[in-house]
Amino acid sequence: MTTIKIAQDPTFTASVPLPRVGGQSTPVEFEFRYLDRLALAELFDRWNAAREALTARASEPGVRWAEITAQEIEFQVDQLQAIVTGWALDDAFDVAALHQLVGACAGAPKAVIEAYQAAYTPARLGN
């Protein structure tokens, strides 16, 4: 009989199709931090509150697009720091590299977060 533990491993890997400007997405293996359901809900609550604040700031009169973009980059780096623990890129995984990734390709944070969320979907559906 196969035996498993209820407790999940602290990290897991998933392939992320990283978009490349002017080219095809390239699959890259990312290592993610496992969060239980409550911790995941709290993380999403934090992200939603930060996104709402960023949206409100963007609608203020006189705000410059560059200011909002810089704040959005910081928000997205924070998002990735919360869930990513490593990657199979040639660049070392650290905060500076996260800034480079988010600053170089606007679609990268979305691709990483979608891959993270998708990793939870089969488990939730029982597949």
> Could you tell me the residue ranges of all domains in the chain?
13-19+27-125
CA angle centred on 10, ends 38 and 25, rounded to 5°: 95
pLDDT in tens, 55-66: 999 999 999 999
Question: pLDDT grade, residue 2 (50/70/90)?
Answer: confident
pLDDT in tens, 9-52: 999 999 999 999 889 999 999 999 999 999 999 999 999 999 99
Long-range contacts, stretch 49-55, CB < 8 angstroms, 24+ apart? 50/75, 50/78, 51/75
Give kind and range of the element (H or E) at residue 118. Answer: helix 108-125
Q: Which residue has the higher pLDDT, 80 or 125?
A: 80
- Are the C-beta atoms of 112 and 30 separated by less than 8 Å? yes
Q: How far apart are CA 54 and CA 37, in angstroms?
A: 26
Question: pLDDT grade, residue 126 (50/70/90)?
Answer: low
- Are the C-beta atoms of 101 and 8 separated by less than 8 Å? no
